[in-house]
Structure 1
Amino acid sequence: NATFGMGAISITSEREKDVDFTLGVMTTGVNLLISKPKIMDSIFQFMEPFSLNLWMAIVGASVGVSILYFVLDYPSEERKFSARETWWFSVGTLLMRGTDFAPRPSSQRILTAGFLFFVLITVSSYTANMAAFLTTNNLEKQIQSLEELVERSDFQCGTVKDSATMNFFKTSSKPIYRKVWSKMSEGGLVSGSKEGRERVRAGGYAFIFDYMINSYSELTSCETKMVGTPFRLQEHGIAMKQGASIKSILNINLLKIKESPIMTQLQTKWWENKRKCDFIESQPTVEFGIKHMAGVFIVGAGGLVCAILFFLSKKWFVAVRTKEKSAESDTGLEETLYTTDKTMSKEDIANAVKV
C-alpha cells in the first residue's frame, strides 16, 4: 500500500510490467568487490622470506656441518678443531663473517667448498626475496576482471538472489557472462548485500553487485576493495504504483535536483565524508619453501659425500702404507740379525722380531 519506494532499484523492462518508475535518479553499473590482502606487521618479518621448515633445515645443515668438521678432524696431527671451534666456524661461514682459523685437512676443505656454495645461494636467495618482501612485490596475480575471475578455481563469486544483476547473468548470451553465471550458481548466491560483503571479508569470494553499494562498502570497510570497470550501466529510479499521479511531480523535482549541485553534495556527504580507509593496498609475498631450495641442499650434500669419501680413502691409504712400512721394517731387521748372528735360524730370528 506504499505510495512509492526508494532504494537501489534498477529500472528494468521486467519491473516496468508491475510498477511505474520516475526518471533516473543516477546512473550506476555493476562491478566486483573482493577482500584486500592482509597487512603483515609481525615483529619477525625478517623471517617471512623463508618458510619455517626451510629455516629449520638451514640450522640443521649448519649443525650437521659443524659435527662433520669435528669428525673429519679426528684424529689429525696437522691441526685439532675443538667442538666450539667447529661450531663457530660453521656459524661464521653461514653469516659470511669468517673466522681466525680455517680447516687444513683436504677432506675439511672439500666440505668447506660445498658449504660455502650452499651459503652463497642461501644468502642470495634470502636477499632477493627480502627485497621483494619489503617493496611489496607480489608474484601472485590479483583479480582485475571477470575474465580473470572465471579462471580462478580458488575464488567463488556471486550476487544477490533474484536481483536484477542475477537475472542479467542468467539470461545473458555473452560467453563470459554465461561462465560467470555457471560459477555463481554453484553456491555463490546470497540473500542480501550484507551477506555478500560478509563473505567477501571472509576471503575467497567476489561479490558482483551495484557499483554505488560496492563503492560505499569500499569506503567504509577497510577489508574490501572494488576491481574492474563498471559494466551493465543502468538508471536507478523511484518505484510507484502504475498510474500514480505523484509521478509527474517527482519527475519535475528530480529534474530540478539534477540541474543543481544537490546530487553531488549528497554523494559527497554520504560517500566521501564516510570514508574510513585509505586506498593503500598491501600485497602478500611469496615465501620460499623446501621445494624452491632443494637443489642447494643436494649440492651441499654432494660436497658432504665427497668430503666423507675423501676422508675414508685417505684413512684407508694411510693404514695400508703404515702396514707396508711396518712389514718392510720387520723384514729389514730380520736380514740384519741373520747377517750378524749366523748361529740363529731365520725362524728364530722372525720369532724374536715379533716378540
Structure 2
Amino acid sequence: MDMDFDYKLVTSYDFGRRLRNGTWTGLVGLLAGGKIDIIVGALTVTSKREEVIDFITPYFLHTGIGIVIRRPSHGKSLFKFMTVFRGEVWLSILSAITATTLMIWLLDKYSPYSSRNITNKYHKRCRKFSLKESFWFAVTSFTPQGGGELPNCLSARILVGAYWIFVVLVLATFTANLAAFLTVEQIESPVKSLEQLSKQSRIKYTVVKNSIAHTYIKNMKIAEEMLYKMWEKIAINYSCHGLEVWDYPVKEQFGGMLAAIEKTKFVPSFKEGIQKVLMNEDAGFSLIHDAVEIKYHIQKYCKLTTIGEPFAKRPYAIAVQQGSRWTQELARRLLELQKIRFFESLHLKYWNITKSKCNSLQENEGISLQSLGGVFIATLSGLLLSVISLCVEVIFKKRNKINMKTFKPPFKQNVYPDLITDKEFGLGFIKKTVLEEFIFQ
C-alpha cells in the first residue's frame, strides 16, 4: 500500500498472551503499551485482544484451527499379495487342496463307476485320476481354464462341485482384499473430524502451549462446564417433570480433550510439534494448530495431511492501538484493495508458488512394482523350475535309453515294444517303460 509514511520494522513470531493481572506479552503487549503502532501478520481477531487493541477490516478469511497428522506409512514388500490372507488361512487352503487330491484319488479308485473300473464303457484315453492327476486337477481348478476333464463317477463329481464352490469363494475373497491391500496406502486416516479424534485413544494429540488452539479448547471446556451447571439447576427445578441430572443432552468433548492433551504434554513451539508429528511413522500423533500454518507445512512436507476441515474460524486482521489515527485510513485502503480482488489474487499467487510436488505425486500414485514384484518373482521361479525339470527329464531319458540297450530280455519275444499303433485313431503312441510309467504316473 502506498500511504507515504516512513516505518521501522520490528519482527517477532510471538503475538503474546494475556497474564493473570490483565496485561499482555509479545506484540499485543507492545501495541497496547504504545511501543509500536501497527501489527501486520497472521493475527487472528479475538474478543480478549479487542479489549486492549483495535482491529481493522479483516483481509484474510480462509483461516481457523486445523489438525495435522502424518500419512500412515505402509511397509513395502515384494510379496505383499501374500499378506492378503494370514498364515493360517494359507495353510487351510493347502490342506483343502491336499484333502481334495486324496479324496478324488480314493473315489476314482474304489468307485465301481469310475473310468478305471469300467474299462469297457470308457475309452482307453479317458482321464484316470491317479495321485498326480488328482493333484493337478485340484490346483488348476483355481485358474480360469479350470481343472480339465471331470471324474466319471457320481461321488467324485459331488466332491468336485463342493470343491468348486470353495474355490469361487476363496478367489472372490482374495481378489477383493487384494484390491484393498494395494490401495490402502492412498487412504490417509480413519479419523475424519475433531469429534472422532476426541472419541478415540489410539492417536495422541496436543497443542502448542498458550496458542490459539490451546485457548480455544480451554474456553470450550469452560463453556461445557457452565452449560452443565445450568442444566443441573434446570433439572433440579423441574425434577417433577421427569428431568434428571444424568439426562444431560450435551456431549462433553473438550474437557476430555484437554485432559488427553495434558497427559500427552504440550509442545513449546509449532516447529517442534511438526517434527514430533513427522517422527511418528505409524500416524499415531497429531497436532492441533493454526490451519494456515498447517496448510503451508503440508505442501512443504508430502508426508503430512489434515484431519477434517478447519474449525473455530477467525479472520486475520491488521491491529492498531485503540483510538489510533491510522484506523480510518487503513480501513479505507483495505476496502479499495478488496474491490479490485487484490487479496484473492495474492492468495492464489502465494499458494501456487509454495505448492510442492505432493499433489502431482498423489495424482500419479499407482500400484508400484514393490507391491507386485513378488508376482513376477513367482513367475520367473516357475520358468526356472520348468527349465530345471526339462534338464532332469532329458538326462533321465538318455540314461534310460543306455540302460535299455545293455538290457537283455530273458525271452526272445519283445516284452517292451517301442511303438504300437492305435487302429481306432490311426495314431502312433510311444509306450513308456515300466520305470518311466512308475515315475511319471
Q: TM-score, normalised by structure 1?
A: 0.61
1:275 is aligned to 355
2:298 is aligned to 218
The CA RMSD measured in Å over matched residues stands at 4.3
How far apart are the structure 2 equivalents of 1:275 and 1:256? 29
The worse-fitting range, judged by mean Cα deviation, of 93-102 and 162-171 is 93-102
Secondary structure, counterpart of 2:313 in structure 1? strand
2:255 is aligned to 178
How far apart are the structure 2 equivalents of 1:141 and 1:196? 19
Report the CA distance between 1:74 and its aligned residue.
5.9
Contact 1:30 1:209 in 2 (8 A): yes
2:204 is aligned to 156
1:256 is aligned to 333
How far apart are the structure 1 equivalents of 2:277 and 2:189? 18
How far apart are the structure 2 equivalents of 1:75 and 1:217? 73
Contact 1:22 1:251 in 2 (8 A): no
Aligned residue identity for 1:176: Q
Contact 1:21 1:237 in 2 (8 A): no
Secondary structure, counterpart of 1:233 in structure 2? coil
Contact 2:277 2:285 in 1 (8 A): yes
1:26 is aligned to 60
How far apart are the structure 2 equivalents of 1:33 and 1:93? 49
Report the CA distance between 1:200 and its aligned residue.
3.6
Deviations 1:89-143 (A, max 9, x none): 1111222533444345666445434322211211222344455667879999833
Secondary structure, counterpart of 1:206 in structure 2? strand
Deviations 1:234-289 (A, max 9, x none): 3445678x78x9x65588457535632554454334423111121858899xxxxx
1:82 is aligned to 130
Deviations 1:307-347 (A, max 9, x none): xxxxxxxxxxxxxxxxxxxxxxxxxxxxxxxxxxxxxxxxx
2:190 is aligned to 142
Aligned residue identity for 1:34: I
How far apart are the structure 1 equivalents of 2:350 and 2:331? 19
1:126 is aligned to 174
2:140 is aligned to 92
Tell me: CA distance 1:67–1:262, structure 2 relative to 1, closer, same or farther (3 Å).
same
The 5 Å alignment of 1:42-53 reads 46-47=81-82, 49-51=84-86, 53=88
Residue identity (%): 28
Aligned residue identity for 2:190: Q
Tell me: CA distance 1:108–1:40, structure 2 relative to 1, closer, same or farther (3 Å).
same
Report the CA distance between 1:220 and its aligned residue.
2.3
1:192 aligns with 2:226: no
Please identify which structure carries the higher helix content. Answer: 1
Report the CA distance between 1:145 and its aligned residue.
2.0
1:234 aligns with 2:314: yes
Report the CA distance between 1:187 and its aligned residue.
0.3
Contact 1:136 1:283 in 2 (8 A): no
Deviations 1:180-229 (A, max 9, x none): 32333320632222233334442123322112111212322222223434
Aligned residue identity for 1:61: A
Q: TM-score, normalised by structure 2?
A: 0.50
Contact 1:69 1:81 in 2 (8 A): yes
Q: Taking CA–CA contacts closer than 8 Å with sequence separation of 6 or more, which of the two structures ends up with the larger relative contact order?
A: 1
5+ residue gaps, structure 2, are 1-9, 11-34, 117-127, 225-251, 368-441
